[in-house]
Amino acid sequence: MTENAALIPTVGSVLSLTTASGTVEFTNATETWTEPLVAWAVVVVWSDPALGEYGTDVVAVVIDEDRYPVTLAEYLRERASGTKARIVVPR
């Protein structure tokens, strides 16, 4: 293990967040709805403390039922199977 292993972020850590504008259109077999796109986040998607390395991805952030911000992937996991999302950003 490297001496900096304690500094390696864990999977799911948000390293950066920036505001966004736009919407996310959701559809499933029975309905269509829209939620605001509130941010883009840099999230750790893999981490190897033994090597002192980690990888990130930029993900969309939406509001989950007006309660709190969640990543688009987390929002979709809580919905019916087959729910699809399309991000719409203003030009």
Local confidence pLDDT in tens for the 91 residues of the chain = 556 666 889 998 999 999 999 999 999 999 999 999 999 999 999 999 889 899 999 999 998 876 788 889 989 988 888 899 999 988 8
Contact call for residues 56 and 9 (beta carbons, < 8 A)? no
Would the pTM of this model clear 0.95, i.e. be above it?
Answer: no
- How many CB atoms sit inside 10 A of residue 62's CB? 24
Domain total of the chain: 1
- Residue 65 structural domain: 5-88
Task: Tokens for 27, please give them.
Answer: 């559809």
